[in-house]
Structure 1
Amino acid sequence: MSSIQHTTSTSTVASRSGGALVPTNSVTTLDGVTVRTRIDPALTVDEVVRQLVTSPTLRQNGSPSQYALRDDTDELVTNDNLRRKIKGRVNLKLVNAPAQEAREIAEKLKYRHEKSIRLTLFSLQKYIREEQFSTEFLNHNGLAELVAVIEETTGNTLAYALTAMQNLMELPYGWSTLDSAFILRVVQILSSPNSPINVCRPATAILKKLVEADPHSAANPAAASSSTAPPAPPPDSIYRYGFGAVCEQMRKERGFLETVVNRLGSADTAMAQYSMNLINALLTHATDARWDEFIGDLERLNVRKAVVRLMSLHEIDDLTSCILDFQANILRVTVRKQYTAVDPDADATHALALRAIWEASRLEEEVDEHGEIVKWRKLGFETEDIPHEFRDEGVLGLECLRSFVELDTDFSMLMLEQLSRPAEKRCPIAKASNEVVELLLNHWRAFAPGYSTTTTFQPFFLDFQKVHSLATHFFVRMWAESGAAVNEDFTRVSDLVRSQIKASLRNEHVRQWHEVESDFNCEYQKVRDRQMQELELEDKILSKVPVRNLRAKLYKESYEFVRQQRIQCLLQGAWFVNAVPVDAPPPRNPHRKPQRPWRFMRLDNALKYLHYVDSAVKFPVRNGLEDLPERIDISVISEIATGTCAPPPNVLRESSDLPSSSPPGPSPLSFSLLSAHEGSLADQIAPDQSRWADWTDGLNMLRRDGGHVSSKETAGFVHALTEIGLKIKLLDLSAELVDLPDGLTAGPPPASSDFFFSDIVSG
């Protein structure tokens, strides 16, 4: 007896058995014939198709292997989703099998008839993600034909072709033959300011995918400590691209990067987001060979200013994640500059910066009583050895000093004023500049490159040099107002500036620049009074270099510990509420209770898929994935947005397990898994704050391009673990009253080689 029963040839009648509604689906053939059909959910898709094709009612020609089932949205019906579609009474279509469809589309692309090419590409962009379709499409030279279409067309046709290529590149195979000419074509499309948005979006996504192709080029903190060089990718794999391959073509279009940065100001939020994601990918994967050049180009284009402008917008929920990622990338850039040594003899840019600083001072070199040249000591350095003076601040210190000089039009007058004072009363401005760099780095916790737990926007951090200039002027003023002397009071004035930085840059995500300027204009006595109140909460030992280095090490360990804990929570799984996006249209019947308001999600052991099941009630979920038939590919998640959705209607008041909120407003415990081209993949509400933090931050830490956390809870855990670990380590020293030096000075070298190292014999 057949497991498929045709009830009627119309699509408007539903059968009933014993008064209960029996799940019935409508199936439409290629000829337009529609029947109402009861399908046994226990059947496989192949068996369902076979019975439909061979049934006397539909009378289809050809073998069942030539056919497949799709729903109204053209999603392919598979064994994984068949049961859900049957229970949901989804309308089905009996269509050509993916392999058959792929052969026909590949053939149509060869001829590129103007009237049919758009319809062909429209179908291609939908089907290309399916493995059966893509395999057959690639086997029939479909990729080469698609590349040819991209090279030859414009407008909407080009947009469809690029979107098809973007979707193909979500697969881990099939596009390794893309050459430099194709990359250049995409770069040229993006370089044109006249390219329409629907063309620029997929083109930007394609370049981002190419940049990220090399899995070993990312700034991965966990891998940074490994001394083992990663293996080179095979020449015939998709991993052969990366930053270098894209950057080589970017250099051929001089206006490319400028146009991408300008699109951050696009009125289309999605376009701004795509551009931000591309910039983040370039920052994350930049290679050492092109790092200085690329970062220099971004700085000249004022990309930080463009991002700060995005922060000031009111409706930027979709951009929050990529802005935080950008902040994390700039943190890495900042710390890398700090660790890059200043060497004017080997680097022309360093020599040029030093020359600009000296010329702005309008001072003249002198010779002291010992016959030595006095030049940099006039600016406030302790020696004439420039690499030594910038040993702790590196290129970052040099750039900040040059910026300070250029922002102060009266810098030469400031230097003359200092030189007019007695030597012991002069403020060592160059040394003060470096000290302010250290104070700002400590304030923004920029001591662990590659790790960031910032949960809020930091517009003043992105304007580091401007804040540095303001704080350095404050240092000079505090020096004068406190009557400081060089050999005695430098540390005291530094403590005053540290206190003021902490007070002025508080809550920077909600403060205006003029408020910061006003704070830095306060009088010495007010700063001193506040500092006295803070002294009891601060220990000077924590500011010493060895302790800062220890904190950086512990910070990395704490971050990795919390990261692993969050991922373990994902592996265990949890129940969530299926939420409703706040911008979604209202339901037709708001009084009707949703059929499956609950969802259980669990991450697989390979960390590649989120498996889930929707249910009307909670039930004990077994270990493993047998109870979880649906899944979401982690790699297609581009953002974890928070505070985006509300509980479904008439569920909140009927279940005490659901988190409290006031519909229809968004729940603070809600989050959405967003895809760059598919919209929201899941909208969930966590049962409590702890579960919300576990999953939002766990998923962010799992993403390859994720560089931030969403919750203050996770950021607090990392900070608390770091501080506890630091205090435990310091107990060993403080108990013995060991004095920590600010640095270690090497003694003089041996006078001869007539010595040996003695063996240490334990007692």
Structure 2
Amino acid sequence: MSTNGPSSATNGSQVRPGALVPTNNVTTSEGLTVRARIDPTLTVDDVVKQLCINLKIKELPANFALRDETDELVTNDNLRKKIKGKVNLKLVNAPYREARETADKLGQKNERNLKLTLFSLQKFIREEQFAQEFINHNGLRELVSVIYDSNGNTLAYALTAMQNLMELDYGWSSLDDNFILKVVQILSSPTSLINVCRPATAILKKLVEADPMSAPGPQLASTSRSPPAAPPGSVYRYGFHVVFEQMRKEEKLLETVVNRLGSADTAMAQYSMMLINSLLSHASDTRWEEFIAELERLNVRKAVVRLMSLHIMEDLTSCILDFQANIVRVTYRKKTTLVDPDSEPSHAAALQYIWESSKLEEETDENGAVLKWRKLGFDSEDMVQEFSEVGVLGLDCLKKLVENDQDFSKLVLEQLSRALERRCSIAKASNEVVELLSEHWAIFAPGYSTSTTFQPFFLDFYKVHSLATHFFLRMWTESGAASGDFTRVVALVRSQVKVALRSENVRPWHEVVNDFNEREYRAVRDRQMKELELEDDLLSKVPVRNLRAKLYKESYEFVRQQRIQCLLQGAWFVNALPQSSPRDPPRRSNRPWRFMRLDTGMKYLHYVDSAVKFPVRSGLEDLPERIDISMISEIATGTCAPPPNVLRDQNDLPPTSPLIPSPLSFSLLSAHEGSLADQIAPDQSRWADWTDGLNMLRRDGGHVASKETAGFVQALTEIGLKIKLLDLSGEKVEIPSGLAAGPPPTNTDFFFSDLL
């Protein structure tokens, strides 16, 4: 390597024969700029050493490093690229030295220099060499102190630095409850600036996700709900229960976070959505019911439905689909949680409210038994058994039905005034509608959601339930049904549910209301008769529905593993151009192709950019660059266009205008760094493999983005179901509509006999 004086000089030193060595401007800390011819085969340490020698710097070369104009650290991995690109470089303090000086400056609390120090810290803290020395030099303690004592932009910079530090999986395990409470208080304050709230929200989200169950290692495969003990010094020692205990001290926090979903700042809405999703995904058993009840009280579903209708929600699509998937989990858990009024005061209170709203009086039947819940249409007085199939979800739905119907008592009296065989069992109808809606929205198992579009009607589950239950009662009356016709009316309602809730991502709510309230019995019956010609009644039976739920879960997991396997194998993509202003000229790249592959630890996407496609060896040796999976907050689709200089045929890239986003494009977005990658897949199959694979790779299961993947899951489920049913039909096994459990044993004086 050779250097030539100040930048005004035009003639450089001689280059060794046969070598073409680019010239880079290098600026020293004193402001002196020299032109240096750097051999790209050298290491960064050798380059720095020669610069120190040529510039006659007496300090040890180990005290210095190179950065580019954006302050990105020059490493052995990116040195060649920066030299070939003739990037202007700066000779600066080494990361370890910069880290010590930064920690010392934070401790001095010099208000004049504090903002500048924190501004630089936001960027440098992401570098491992800097971060390690910063932590070892008590930098974390000083940063926490600044957060306690600052406000305004100074606080925003400090919180952003903390947020970036917490991207590391070490070094911040000393953060205590007082710090968490401080962040909660900052976030709760209605006067906090947006640029303060964004990193504060991200910090809470990170703490929620840092629970022992999320720690890398074999415990991830454990099915036990008991979290393992975090080893000493591990940052995986927090989690939902730790954060939520501090959140409970600020009653307005959740309300403030939910309100910020309506923020005009899209990034603020996105951060708030991500925090809510993390809380939903990691809620502990002990606080789950309290947390969910509070979210329902704050009407978070309505806030998300409102986001769906906004034109600025493109950046929030992934977060909204995550929220839908989380609500599927909440709904499934409620459905499988038994109603127990003797042990759960909330269950007893809900039942008491329903009974009081009916304005009925208890009686005794001819046998002297209490006649209470049977007057509402239940088959018995045992509420545990009556709600056994629909659980707490069924109880909540019935309670909401009563709350929203001021004439509920008249509805009950109307049924009681009829002859016994002509009465419609209101409570049984309510529970059956819960089953029908659960079937329609595939509430089959926790953690599995194949919806690729918004489902605003699903988020209004209770309202839809109320509409469908009233529709049930109306069909009962209009059809002149008797006690033996319950199954027939259920079939009518199932048919109407499919029609009323079709295309819910584009249909307005008033059409749903009209479909349930205005459709006459004759029209519904005629349509249903046509449907019956094409359907098998066997598929609607409860055991078959339960079998479909089991197969659905297995199919989802199979497709998930297949998608992730595609990521492990790797694929070629086109480096795309994000959408820009029409005035901006399209950028040209001399390396338009990128090969990406997921490492076996599933922590990084390794890649290489190239001018042409070439055979990539197995492993990661050919892939020098990488993207941290944990940095990806959203996989956005249809976001970018192909570069204008890509020579391609139809197998390389689908034809499209350089200015129009490709339907096969996707971007890997970071919450605070923008786009980490903009790619275009060669075909629909590869696009589905990668967009869904990256989504399904997340710890909480993520969501499905493509109709192709959702179709695979559904197809595998239906094929598996038909194969199972062929086994049964071949043996001419009669499948009952339901199985009634007998009474439990009166004592333990019994044993199970051996099958001979």
Superposed pair shares fold, TM > 0.5? yes
Query: What is the match of residue 434 of structure 2?
Result: 437
Measure how far apart 1:378 and its partner are.
Answer: 1.2
Determine the C-alpha separation between the residues in 2 that align with 1:276 and 1:232: 29
Contact 2:447/2:701 (8 A) holds in 1: no
Amino acid at match of 2:487: T
Determine the C-alpha separation between the residues in 1 that align with 2:9 and 2:531: 76
The 5-angstrom pairing of residues 216-231 of structure 1 reads 216=213, 226-227=223-224, 229-231=226-228
Query: What is the match of residue 43 of structure 2?
Result: 44
Measure how far apart 1:586 and its partner are.
Answer: 5.6
Q: In the alignment, does 2:304 pair up with 1:307? A: yes
Which residue of 137, 140, 146 maps to 1:140? 137
Query: What is the match of residue 560 of structure 2?
Result: 563
Partner of 1:692, secondary structure, is helix
Determine the C-alpha separation between the residues in 2 that align with 1:566 and 1:459: 28
Determine the C-alpha separation between the residues in 2 that align with 1:655 and 1:38: 43
Contact 2:198/2:268 (8 A) holds in 1: yes
Deviations 1:354-403 (A, max 9, x none): 11111111122222211122111111111111111101011100110011
Determine the C-alpha separation between the residues in 2 that align with 1:213 and 1:753: 45
Measure how far apart 1:550 and its partner are.
Answer: 1.9
Determine the C-alpha separation between the residues in 2 that align with 1:177 and 1:38: 46
Amino acid at match of 1:616: A
- TM-score, length of structure 1 as denominator length: 0.95
Measure how far apart 1:316 and its partner are.
Answer: 1.1
Query: What is the match of residue 626 of structure 2?
Result: 631
Partner of 1:37, secondary structure, is strand
Q: In the alignment, does 2:686 pair up with 1:691? A: yes
Measure how far apart 1:226 and its partner are.
Answer: 2.5
Query: What is the match of residue 510 of structure 1?
Result: 506
Which residue of 217, 241, 246 maps to 1:244? 241
Amino acid at match of 2:236: Y
Task: Name segments (4+ residues, structure 1) moved above 6 Å.
Answer: 14-21, 222-225, 652-656, 748-756
Determine the C-alpha separation between the residues in 1 that align with 2:392 and 2:11: 75
Query: What is the match of residue 528 of structure 1?
Result: 525
Contact 1:217/1:286 (8 A) holds in 2: no
Partner of 1:682, secondary structure, is strand
Determine the C-alpha separation between the residues in 1 that align with 2:138 and 2:49: 30
The 5-angstrom pairing of residues 584-663 of structure 1 reads 588=585, 590=586, 593-651=588-646, 657-663=652-658
Contact 2:25/2:88 (8 A) holds in 1: yes
Determine the C-alpha separation between the residues in 2 that align with 1:750 and 1:702: 46
Contact 2:447/2:700 (8 A) holds in 1: no
Structure 1, unmatched stretches of 5+, are none
Contact 1:611/1:632 (8 A) holds in 2: yes
Which residue of 99, 106, 113 maps to 1:102? 99
Query: What is the match of residue 171 of structure 2?
Result: 174
Query: What is the match of residue 334 of structure 1?
Result: 331
Q: In the alignment, does 2:448 pair up with 1:421? A: no
Determine the C-alpha separation between the residues in 2 that align with 1:526 and 1:362: 35
Query: What is the match of residue 203 of structure 1?
Result: 200
Given the superposition, is the C-alpha separation of residues 226 and 41 from structure 1 closer, same or farther in structure 2, using an over 3 Å criterion? same
Determine the C-alpha separation between the residues in 2 that align with 1:650 and 1:14: 35
Given the superposition, is the C-alpha separation of residues 12 and 647 from structure 1 closer, same or farther in structure 2, using an over 3 Å criterion? farther
Measure how far apart 1:230 and its partner are.
Answer: 4.6
Given the superposition, is the C-alpha separation of residues 54 and 293 from structure 1 closer, same or farther in structure 2, using an over 3 Å criterion? same
Deviations 1:691-720 (A, max 9, x none): 000000011111234520110000111111
Query: What is the match of residue 704 of structure 1?
Result: 699
Determine the C-alpha separation between the residues in 2 that align with 1:578 and 1:188: 43
Contact 1:325/1:706 (8 A) holds in 2: no
Contact 1:598/1:614 (8 A) holds in 2: yes
Contact 1:41/1:86 (8 A) holds in 2: yes
Contact 1:393/1:438 (8 A) holds in 2: yes
Q: Please report the RMSD computed on the Cα atoms of aligned residues, expressed in angstroms.
A: 2.3
Contact 2:332/2:446 (8 A) holds in 1: yes
Determine the C-alpha separation between the residues in 2 that align with 1:307 and 1:756: 53
Amino acid at match of 2:459: L
The 5-angstrom pairing of residues 148-159 of structure 1 reads 148-159=145-156
Deviations 1:34-65 (A, max 9, x none): 1222222111111111111111xx22230100
Contact 2:212/2:227 (8 A) holds in 1: no
Measure how far apart 1:752 and its partner are.
Answer: 9.3
Q: In the alignment, does 2:719 pair up with 1:724? A: yes
Given the superposition, is the C-alpha separation of residues 62 and 308 from structure 1 closer, same or farther in structure 2, using an over 3 Å criterion? same
Given the superposition, is the C-alpha separation of residues 217 and 484 from structure 1 closer, same or farther in structure 2, using an over 3 Å criterion? farther
Partner of 1:602, secondary structure, is strand
Determine the C-alpha separation between the residues in 2 that align with 1:437 and 1:539: 22
Contact 1:342/1:390 (8 A) holds in 2: yes
Measure how far apart 1:234 and its partner are.
Answer: 2.1
Measure how far apart 1:737 and its partner are.
Answer: 1.6
Query: What is the match of residue 363 of structure 2?
Result: 366
Measure how far apart 1:629 and its partner are.
Answer: 0.9
How many residues were matched structurally? Answer: 751
- TM-score, length of structure 2 as denominator length: 0.96
Contact 1:68/1:98 (8 A) holds in 2: yes
Which sits farther off after the overlay, 535-544 or 27-36? 535-544
Q: In the alignment, does 2:266 pair up with 1:265? A: no
Deviations 1:598-657 (A, max 9, x none): 111111111111111111111111111111111101111111111111111233678872
Amino acid at match of 2:321: L
Given the superposition, is the C-alpha separation of residues 167 and 453 from structure 1 closer, same or farther in structure 2, using an over 3 Å criterion? same
Contact 2:212/2:237 (8 A) holds in 1: no
Given the superposition, is the C-alpha separation of residues 749 and 172 from structure 1 closer, same or farther in structure 2, using an over 3 Å criterion? closer
Contact 2:125/2:165 (8 A) holds in 1: yes
Contact 2:25/2:89 (8 A) holds in 1: yes
Which sits farther off after the overlay, 742-751 or 267-276? 742-751
Query: What is the match of residue 547 of structure 1?
Result: 544
Contact 1:652/1:658 (8 A) holds in 2: no
Which residue of 469, 483, 489 maps to 2:485? 489
Query: What is the match of residue 573 of structure 2?
Result: 576
Measure how far apart 1:678 and its partner are.
Answer: 0.8
Partner of 2:622, secondary structure, is coil
Determine the C-alpha separation between the residues in 2 that align with 1:301 and 1:191: 15
Deviations 1:696-754 (A, max 9, x none): 00111112345201100001111111111111111111111211234434556789988
Which residue of 289, 293, 307 maps to 1:292? 289
Determine the C-alpha separation between the residues in 1 that align with 2:28 and 2:673: 27
Which sits farther off after the overlay, 208-217 or 240-249? 208-217
Deviations 1:457-508 (A, max 9, x none): 000100100000000000000000111001x100000000000000010010
Determine the C-alpha separation between the residues in 2 that align with 1:202 and 1:215: 23
Determine the C-alpha separation between the residues in 1 that align with 2:9 and 2:575: 30
Amino acid at match of 1:203: A
Q: In the alignment, does 2:394 pair up with 1:397? A: yes
